Chain A
Amino acid sequence: MASNKKYWKSVEELNENSSIVEKLRQNEFAEDLPTDQFLGDKETLEASSTTRRDFLKYVGFTTAAASLAACEGPVVKSIPYVIKPNEVTPGVADYYATSIANGYDFANILVKVREGRPIKIEPNKLAETTGTTNARVQASVLSLYDNNRLQNPRVKGKPVNWSTFEKGLASKLSELKANGETIVFLTGTTASPTTNKLIQDYKATYDNVQHITYDAVSESGALDAFQAMYGERALPDYDFSKADVIVSIGADFLADWQGGGFEVGYAKGRVPNHGKMSRHVQFESNMSLTGANADKRFMVKPSEQAQVLLNIYNAVTGNGAAKKTSVDAGIQKVVKQLKAAGSNAVVVTGLQDKNAQLVALAINKAIQSKVVDTASPRYVRSSSDAKVLKLVADMKAGKVGALLAVDTNPVYSIAGFTEAMKKVKLSVAFAMTEDETASASQYIAATPHYLESWGDVNIKKGQFGLIQPTIKPLFNTRQFQDVLLNLMGSKQSYYDYVKGYWNSTILRGKSWNKALHDGLTIRATAPVVSASESGIDDLLSNKINSVSAASALAASIKGSKLELSLYTKVSMGDGQMANNPWLQELPDPITRTTWDNYLLISRVDAEANDIKNWTVSDGALNGDKVNVTVNGVTVENVPVFIQPGQAPGSVGLALGYGRVKGLNSNMNVGVNAYPLYQNFNTNQAVSIKKVEGVHEFACVQLHHTIMGREEEITKETTLAEFVSKPKSEWNTPPHVSQDHSLVGIEDITLWEKFDDTLGTKFNLSIDLATCTGCAACVISCHAENNVAVVGKEEIRLSRDMHWLRIDRYYTSEMSVEKGKEEGIYGSAGFFDAQEQPSDNPEVAFQPVMCQHCDHAPCETVCPVAATSHGRQGQNHMAYNRCIGTRYCANNCPYKVRRFNWFKYFDNNEFDFNMNNDLGRMVLNPDVVVRSRGVMEKCSMCIQMTQATILKAKKEGRPVKDGEFETACTNACSTGALVFGDVNDPESKIAALKEDDRKFRLLEFVGTKPNVFYQLDVRNTNEA
C-alpha cells in the first residue's frame, strides 16, 4: 500500500511542470554562487581605480602577511581556582535535578553543568510523565545567557542597588497601606506551594492584598468546569496509554493543551500490541500537531466543533437529539466506537468554554473513562478569566493602589493593559528582561533565571518538585520571594523558607537532601475536596449540571462566515522566550516555517479572497498579506500561509509573536495576535482584507527535497493489513536485478565487507508510529552539538544548519483500494483525487539526520578524506580536514549535510547567542564550534558515545544496554528514538533491527544506513 501513496511536502510539488521543484530535486544547493553581484557590474569594475596588477599585489601582500602572522601562536593563560569546590572537576559534567515552572511550561528536569555553567536540559526520568522536556524546556537554558537580561534593579529607569530599591518599595507600600489601597500580586501560574504560602503570609501582614494568577494563554474554561464538577481548581490528568478510542475536539493535547505532557501515554497506545492499538479521531479547524498524528481527522470550524461535542454527548448519554453538522457520518462512527470501547475511551476538547469543558467531563464520566484521572489532578494552569478581566476593570477605575507583576507580561498580552497601568499608583515588575510590562513599570526588580533560583513546584497532586540553583546568579538579581521576605522584615532567605516549609509540610521526616538530589518527592495524599463544594460530586447534581451546561453550550453556538482559531506553536508557546534564537529558528512541525507567525487559511478561502502563496526560484516561499479584524480590532499586514487541512471557513493565527521590548531587534518577528484574543476566547469571528505587499517566509518545507523518490521515502500501513497480511505485503524489502533474477539489496555490494560484528556497532531506530513530531530532539541536538543559528535570511536561502530535521509529508487518503472501489483507479481522476491538496491530507513525520551509511556515498567523493567511516558504524567528519568542496553534500541521497557558508560566531552579521560572551557560555566544551567553509552533520553524538565507552573502560566492565544515548534519544519523551549497540544481542536496538516494521530510508540505493525506521501504522478500523 505504502508505495502507491504519493507523498509531498509542499503544494508546489504537485505541479508537474514546476521547474523549481525539479531544480531542488537535482541540486543540493538551490542557488549558484552569486558571482554576478561582484562581477556583473561592468561599469563599476571599469571605474575602479584598482588595476589588475594592483589587485594582484594586494593579494600577494595580504597572503604573505597572513602567513607570517600565522607563525606566532597566541599565549594561552590557564587560570585554576584559588580554592576548588569539591564537587567540581574541570572537564567532568555534574548533573543537578531541578524543575522548570515559568507559568507556561512545568517539568522536573536534570541540568548538565560543566565548570559551573549549565549547558543542557535533560529529562528527569525519575519523574516519569512530569519529567519530560519539550522544545521550549530544552531551549530554556539559552534564556539564562540572554544578553538582554536586566543586570540591576531599576527605579524609574535608573539602576539602583537592592537596599535602595527595597527601602523605596517598602515605604511606597506602607504609604499605600496607610491609605487602605489595594495591593495586587499578578503572577503566572506558580504551582508552587511555598510561593503561594509566602504570599498568604504577606497578606497576613498587609490587609487588602490580592493574589491573582494570570496565564497568558488561558485554560480558564477547563478549570472552571473541573472546579464546578470536582470542587478543586485544577485540571484533570489523562493517561492516554489506557485509551482504545481517543476523540479530540479541537484539543491539541500532544502540544500545549492544558499544559501538555500527554504524549508519553499516547505513544504507548500507538504501537500495535497483540493486534491492538488506540484509535484517534480528531475534529479540528487548524491542522495541529495532534491532528497530524490522528488516525482520522475531520476539518470542522470552531463553532461547529461545539455542535460535534454536543452531538456526541447526546448520543452517549441519550439526552436530546443531534443537530445536523457537516461530519455526521463521522460522528456516528465515532459514537459507535466510543460505546464499544466503553471505559477505555476518552473525549477531550480544546474549546475555551466552561460549558464545553463540562460536557466533555460529563461524557467521560458517563462512559466511566479510565483514561481520565480526576483524583490526582494537575496544577499547571490556574488563571481565572473573570478575575483577570475584573482586575483590568478595577485598574481602569483607579481602584488598584499597587500592581506587582511577577514574571508575567500583561502589557504585551492583554489589550488595553497599558492604559490601565497608568491609573495604578505604584507599578512594580519582577522581570528578567525589560519587557513590555517592565518598561511600563516604575519599579523593575531584576529577577534571576530559574536555573539561578530556589523554589518548588507541585505539577500534579501528590508530586512535589524542587527548584535549585545550578549557577551563581550572573547578575545583581534577586528573586521575587526573597524581596517579599525582605519587605516583610524577615531575616530568612527564601532557601531557608522553602526548606522549612518542606520539612514541616511536605517531607515530614523524609530526607531533604534526597528530595533535592532526586528533584522531586512523592506524597500521595488522599484526594481532598474542599468542604463548601463537596455536594457537587453528587451524581444527580452532576447530571443536572451537565445537562444545563449542554443546553447553555447549544444556546451559545454562533457561527460566522470566517472564524479565527488562535493557537500556540511548539516553538514559541505564549511568547515569553521570544528572544531565544533556537526557538525562533525551530521550524514549525506542520508549516515547516521559521521566524514567523502567519494566518493559516484553507485553499478554498484563499482562492475566494484572491490570496496566493508562491515559490520563488531558490525554493523560498512568498505570500500575500492581509489585515485581520476581530470586533473592530485590526492586526495589520499579517502574512497568509495556505495550509492544507485547514477547515474551510476558518483561519488560524499563532500567539506569542510580535514582541517588541526586551529583545534583540532581529528577534522582533511576526505579529502580535493577543489583541485578537478577546475575552480569552481562542475562537473569534473574523474578517480579513487583502493588502498590498509580499511577505517573504523562511519556510524549509522544500529544502533538502530528496530526489525524485517521494513514493518510497516513508512507509506506512494500516492496522488491518499489519495484523492480517504478511510483512512482504506492507513492508516490501527492495530488490534489484542481478543476472536476470531479483536479489535482496543486502546481498549486493560494490565494496569489500569488513567484519563489523566485533566490538560496538551503533544503530539508531526511529519509530514513526510514536514520533509525534514535537521537535524537542531538534533543540536538544542544537544544544548538545553547538549548532549555529543562521537567521531568517539565510534560512530562505536553504542554508539552515539543523543536523536533525523532521520532514513533514502530506499524503492523500486516496489509496489503490479506494480508487478501485470508486472506479477511478488507473484514470487521471485517481491522481487528481490523490493530489488535491486542499482535501484533508494525512500527515507523516519523519526525523532525518545523517544516516551513517556503511556504504556512504559522501565518503567516496571527498577529495581529502575528511569524511570517513568508523568501526562503530559512525560516519566521521573531520572539520579541520575539510576544504569545503561540498562534493559530499551533493552526493548525499538524504541531504543531511550542512555547509558553513559563514562564520556564525563572533560575527555581527549573525547577532545571535554565539555573537556575545554571555551567549557562548551555553556551548558544549566537548564539541568544536565549526568555522566557515567546512561541512558539518550529525555525528551520532560521538562525544556522548565515547564518554560512555570511557566510563565503562575506567570501571573495567562492558557497556550495559541503555547506557548509550544521543542527544535526540535522550530528549525523546515518547521513546520513538532508540539508540544502542546492535552487536549486543540482548539490546533493545538489536531486537528492533529484526522488527517486522523496520525499514531503511531509500534502502534500494544500497547505502546500508545505520539509522533505520519503524513504519507508521494507522488504525483505519472504523467499525
Chain B
Amino acid sequence: MKSVNQHSKPLKLFLSSLIFILLFTIQLFAQEGNAENGKKIFNANCASCHKLDKKFIGPALKGITEKRTKEWLFSWIKDSQALIASGDKDAKAIFDEYKIPMASYPNLSDQDLADILAYTDDKPIENKEGGSTTGVPEGVDINQVKTGKKIFNANCAACHKLDAKLIGPALAGIADKRSAEWLKSWIKDNAALRASGDKDAIAIFDEYNGSAMMAFPQLKDADIEALIAYTSHASVLDAKSKDTGAEVSNVAEVESVPWATYLVLLVVALFAIWVYFMSGNQFLKFLTTIAILIGTGYFLYAWLMGIGVDQGYKPIQPIAFSHKIHAGDNKIDCQYCHSNAKHSKLSGIPSVNVCMNCHKSIAEYTGPVTEEKDKAFYDGEIQKIYDAIGWDKEKLAYIEGYKQKPIEWVRIHSLPDFAYYNHSQHVTVAGLECQTCHGPVEEMDEVEQFAPLTMGWCIECHKKTDLKIKENGYYAKIHEELSEKYGVEKVTVAQMGGRECGKCHY
C-alpha cells in the first residue's frame, strides 16, 4: 500500500469499515439508514451500472423509493432473477426494458440496503427556483439574470469577463455606460453599426487595434436584455452559490469515527484476558483459541492479499485539480483532455497546452467555495498552470523565453510492467465508459483509484462482457462461422481468448 502523501491509511480504513459493518449488523435499532455509509456501499456495488441522476447501464436511482416499496427493492437487489421468476410484474417490465439482468447482491445485509436507499433519497441541495428573493435588489428578475448567465457563458465568455479585460473589455456594469438600444445593435452586428458611422463603435474598434467582434444576429432582444441584466446584477447569483457551497461543505465534513475500532479491539482483548486468566472453563478457552487463530488467519490473509493493491489510493497532486469541477460541473468530456485514450495504450495526461485551450480565458475561479478552499486558493491553483507554461495573465500573452516547468503529477493507476493494458482496445473497440474502471470520476474532487486493478478484477469483467461481434467488421468472419458451426450468437471476451496469459503478459 502506497502511503506517501496519502490522505488516510487504507489499512485503518479497511479495519474501521469492517468494524462498522460488524457493528451495524449487530445493531438492532438499524433500518433507519445511514446515507454516508450508503454512499460507500453504492459506489462499491452499484456505481458501475447506476448513476443517481441519469440513466447509465441501469436506470437513475435518485428517489427510487418514491416509485417502489422498500420490501420490493430489497428482494430485487438481493436476487433480481428470483423476483422475475416469481412473476413480479414490475420486475419483468424492468427486465424487458433493459434486456440485461442485474447482478445479484445476496451479500448485502438489510442494513446495507437501507443505507443505500437513504443515500439515493438524500436529495442534493438545490437552488429553490425563485423561491426566496432575500438579498435580491428590487426590480431584478433573478430568472432573467440566470438566463443571462447561460447566454453569456455560451456566447461571450470566450472573449469577455465581467470584471477584467480579456480579449474584449470587462462587461460588468456595461449598461451604465451604454444604452440598451446601442448594445443591441452592437451585439447583433457591430460592423453595420460602425459602418453607420457611430462614433462610440469606431472608438472601441480602434482601441482594440481593429480586431473586430463577432456578430451575433441569432440573439434576440430578450436574450440581450437578459445579458444586460446579468452583467449588471451577477453578484446576486454569487451570493447564492456561496451559501450553497457552505452547506455542501458542512455535509462533507462528517468524518468516520476511529475510536469504535479501538473499542471493539479492547472488548475482544478484555474478553480474551477474562477467558484465559479469570475463567476456569477449559472448553471456552479451547473455543477462544480456535476463534483467535481463525480470526488472525483470516485477517492476515486479507492483509497479505491486499499488498500491492492500491484501491483507494489518493495522493496529493501538485495541482488541486478537481475532476468534479471539470468533468462533473462543467461536463467536459473525459476524452477532451485524455485524448490519447482512443488511439493509444495510454490514456495520456493532458499536456499544459490542452489546459490552456480553456484557461487562456478562465483565469479566475467563479464556482462555489468553502472555508478551506476559497477563491484565492483556486485561483492560485490555476496560476500553477500559467507558471508551468509561462503565461502572463495580465498581458494575456505567453512570456517569451520562459523556461517551462512540466507538472509532475503523481500517478494513481499504475499497472506493473509485466501487464500490458491498452486503453484504445477498451475505449474505441469495446466502447466502455471510462467510469467502468475509473469510477465516478466526475464526482471526485481528488481522484482516487476506484478499482482494485487486480488480475481477478480484469478477468471477472472479461468473463461477463460480450464482444461486439455483430457490430465490428473485424469479427464478421468469426461471427459467421460461430453461428454456422455452433449456432452461437454472442461470446464473451474470455471465450475469444481474453483470458489467455499471453494476451496481457508479454
Roughly how many angstroms separate A755 CA and B478 CA in the complex, as a whole number? Answer: 12
Instruction: Determine if A750 is an interface residue (Cβ-Cβ < 8 Å).
Output: no
Q: Which of B70-78, B208-216, B220-228, B409-417 contacts A (4 or more CB under 8 A)?
A: B409-417
Closest residue of chain A to B346 (Cβ to Cβ) is A91
* Residue in A73, A89, A757, A877 whose beta carbon sits within 8 Å of that of B1 in the complex: A73
CB <8 Å contact, B502 and A874? yes
Closest residue of chain B to A929 (Cβ to Cβ) is B417
CB <8 Å contact, B409 and A954? no
Roughly how many angstroms separate A72 CA and B1 CA in the complex, as a whole number? Answer: 5
CB <8 Å contact, B506 and A927? yes
Instruction: Determine if A957 is an interface residue (Cβ-Cβ < 8 Å).
Output: yes
Give 16 new A-B contacts, CB below 8 A, not counting A78-B408, A80-B351, A955-B473.
A71-B307, A76-B411, A78-B409, A78-B410, A80-B407, A82-B351, A82-B406, A92-B340, A92-B344, A757-B481, A876-B505, A876-B506, A880-B505, A881-B505, A926-B345, A958-B474
* A-B contacts at CB below 8 angstroms, number: 169
Residues of B near A870 (CB, < 8 A) are 497, 500-503
- Produce 1/0 per residue, B62-85, CB < 8 A to A: 000000000000000000000000
Given A73-B2, A82-B352: A89 in contact with B340 (beta carbons within 8 A): yes
Roughly how many angstroms separate A79 CA and B352 CA in the complex, as a whole number? Answer: 11
CB <8 Å contact, B310 and A73? yes
CB <8 Å contact, B4 and A71? no
Residues of B near A880 (CB, < 8 A) are 416, 418-419, 505
* Residue in B3, B353, B482 whose beta carbon sits within 8 Å of that of A72 in the complex: B3
Residues of B near A879 (CB, < 8 A) are 418, 505
Can you spell out 22 A-B residue pairs with CB atoms less than 8 angstroms apart? A72-B1, A72-B2, A74-B2, A75-B5, A77-B411, A78-B408, A80-B351, A83-B351, A89-B343, A91-B348, A92-B345, A757-B481, A868-B502, A870-B500, A870-B501, A870-B502, A878-B502, A939-B506, A942-B506, A949-B474, A955-B473, A958-B473
Instruction: Determine if B260 is an interface residue (Cβ-Cβ < 8 Å).
Output: no
Given A81-B406, A868-B501, A958-B473: A76 in contact with B414 (beta carbons within 8 A): yes
Tell me the chain A residues, 863-910 only, with Cβ under 8 Å from chain B.
866, 868, 870-872, 874, 876-881
Instruction: Determine if A956 is an interface residue (Cβ-Cβ < 8 Å).
Output: yes
Instruction: Determine if A70 is an interface residue (Cβ-Cβ < 8 Å).
Output: yes
Residues of B near A77 (CB, < 8 A) are 408-411
* Residue in A78, A881, A942 whose beta carbon sits within 8 Å of that of B349 in the complex: A78
Q: Which of B16-24, B238-246, B248-256, B422-430 contacts A (4 or more CB under 8 A)?
A: B422-430
CB <8 Å contact, A957 and B410? no
Residues of B near A943 (CB, < 8 A) are 420, 506
CB distance from A333 to the nearest CB of B (A): 53
* Residue in B1, B388, B409, B474 whose beta carbon sits within 8 Å of that of A82 in the complex: B388
* Residue in A74, A89, A90, A952 whose beta carbon sits within 8 Å of that of B474 in the complex: A952
* Residue in B1, B349, B422 whose beta carbon sits within 8 Å of that of A950 in the complex: B422
Roughly how many angstroms separate A260 CA and B371 CA in the complex, as a whole number? Answer: 76
Instruction: Determine if A953 is an interface residue (Cβ-Cβ < 8 Å).
Output: yes
Instruction: Determine if B368 is an interface residue (Cβ-Cβ < 8 Å).
Output: no
Closest residue of chain A to B504 (Cβ to Cβ) is A878
- Report which B residues bind A (CB closer than 8 A): 1-5, 307-308, 310, 315, 340, 343-346, 348-354, 388-389, 404-411, 414, 416-420, 422-425, 428-429, 472-474, 476-478, 481-482, 485, 496-497, 500-503, 505-506
Which of A870, A878, A952 is packed against the most chain B CB atoms within 10 Å? A878
CB distance from A853 to the nearest CB of B (A): 14
Please report whether the interface of chain B is mostly helix, strand, loop or mixed according to DSSP.
Answer: loop
CB <8 Å contact, B1 and A78? no
Residues of A near B473 (CB, < 8 A) are 955-958
Residues of A near B407 (CB, < 8 A) are 79-80, 82
Closest residue of chain A to B313 (Cβ to Cβ) is A73
CB <8 Å contact, B501 and A82? no
CB <8 Å contact, B406 and A926? no
CB distance from B447 to the nearest CB of A (A): 12
- Produce 1/0 per residue, A40-82, CB < 8 A to B: 0000000000000000000000000000001111111111111
CB distance from A598 to the nearest CB of B (A): 38
Instruction: Determine if A158 is an interface residue (Cβ-Cβ < 8 Å).
Output: no
Roughly how many angstroms separate A874 CA and B506 CA in the complex, as a whole number? Answer: 12
Which of A76, A91, A959 is packed against the most chain B CB atoms within 10 Å? A91
Roughly how many angstroms separate A27 CA and B53 CA in the complex, as a whole number? Answer: 67
* Residue in A76, A868, A871, A878 whose beta carbon sits within 8 Å of that of B410 in the complex: A76
Name the 7 nearest CB pairs between A and B, nearest first. Answer: A876-B502, A91-B344, A84-B351, A956-B473, A91-B346, A878-B501, A81-B351
Instruction: Determine if A946 is an interface residue (Cβ-Cβ < 8 Å).
Output: yes
Residues of B near A81 (CB, < 8 A) are 351-353, 406
Roughly how many angstroms separate A926 CA and B352 CA in the complex, as a whole number? Answer: 26
Instruction: Determine if A1023 is an interface residue (Cβ-Cβ < 8 Å).
Output: no
Roughly how many angstroms separate A872 CA and B4 CA in the complex, as a whole number? Answer: 43
CB distance from B215 to the nearest CB of A (A): 32
Residues of B near A70 (CB, < 8 A) are 307-308
- Produce 1/0 per residue, A407-430, CB < 8 A to B: 000000000000000000000000
Given A92-B343, A758-B482, A939-B502: A957 in contact with B349 (beta carbons within 8 A): no
Given A874-B502, A953-B474: A83 in contact with B3 (beta carbons within 8 A): no
Instruction: Determine if A389 is an interface residue (Cβ-Cβ < 8 Å).
Output: no
Tell me the chain A residues, 110-124 only, with Cβ under 8 Å from chain B.
none
CB distance from B105 to the nearest CB of A (A): 31
Given A80-B409, A879-B418: A89 in contact with B503 (beta carbons within 8 A): no
Closest residue of chain B to A759 (Cβ to Cβ) is B478
CB <8 Å contact, A953 and B506? no
CB distance from A94 to the nearest CB of B (A): 12
Residues of A near B352 (CB, < 8 A) are 80-83
Residues of A near B410 (CB, < 8 A) are 75-78
Instruction: Determine if A928 is an interface residue (Cβ-Cβ < 8 Å).
Output: yes
CB distance from B43 to the nearest CB of A (A): 23
Closest residue of chain A to B348 (Cβ to Cβ) is A90
Residues of B near A876 (CB, < 8 A) are 500-503, 505-506
CB distance from B398 to the nearest CB of A (A): 10
Which of A758, A868, A926, A943 is packed against the most chain B CB atoms within 10 Å? A758
CB distance from A471 to the nearest CB of B (A): 19
* Residue in B308, B411, B481, B506 whose beta carbon sits within 8 Å of that of A758 in the complex: B481
Residues of B near A755 (CB, < 8 A) are 485
CB <8 Å contact, B349 and A80? yes
Residues of B near A958 (CB, < 8 A) are 473-474, 476-477
Residues of A near B310 (CB, < 8 A) are 73
Roughly how many angstroms separate A79 CA and B481 CA in the complex, as a whole number? Answer: 46
Roughly how many angstroms separate A509 CA and B100 CA in the complex, as a whole number? Answer: 63
Roughly how many angstroms separate A76 CA and B502 CA in the complex, as a whole number? Answer: 26
CB <8 Å contact, B348 and A80? yes
CB <8 Å contact, A953 and B472? yes
Closest residue of chain B to A926 (Cβ to Cβ) is B420
Roughly how many angstroms separate A881 CA and B496 CA in the complex, as a whole number? Answer: 22
CB <8 Å contact, A946 and B503? yes
Closest residue of chain B to A760 (Cβ to Cβ) is B478
Which of A877, A928, A949 is packed against the most chain B CB atoms within 10 Å? A928
Residues of A near B353 (CB, < 8 A) are 81-84
Closest residue of chain B to A931 (Cβ to Cβ) is B418
CB <8 Å contact, A942 and B344? no
- Produce 1/0 per residue, A350-376, CB < 8 A to B: 000000000000000000000000000
CB <8 Å contact, B500 and A78? no
CB distance from B337 to the nearest CB of A (A): 10
CB distance from B156 to the nearest CB of A (A): 28
Residues of A near B416 (CB, < 8 A) are 880
Residues of B near A71 (CB, < 8 A) are 1, 307
Roughly how many angstroms separate A728 CA and B102 CA in the complex, as a whole number? Answer: 61
Roughly how many angstroms separate A958 CA and B501 CA in the complex, as a whole number? Answer: 24
Residues of A near B419 (CB, < 8 A) are 880
Tell me the chain A residues, 942-1001 only, with Cβ under 8 Å from chain B.
942-943, 946, 949-950, 952-959
CB <8 Å contact, B350 and A80? yes
Roughly how many angstroms separate A589 CA and B351 CA in the complex, as a whole number? Answer: 49
CB distance from B28 to the nearest CB of A (A): 38
* Residue in A72, A80, A874, A954 whose beta carbon sits within 8 Å of that of B406 in the complex: A80
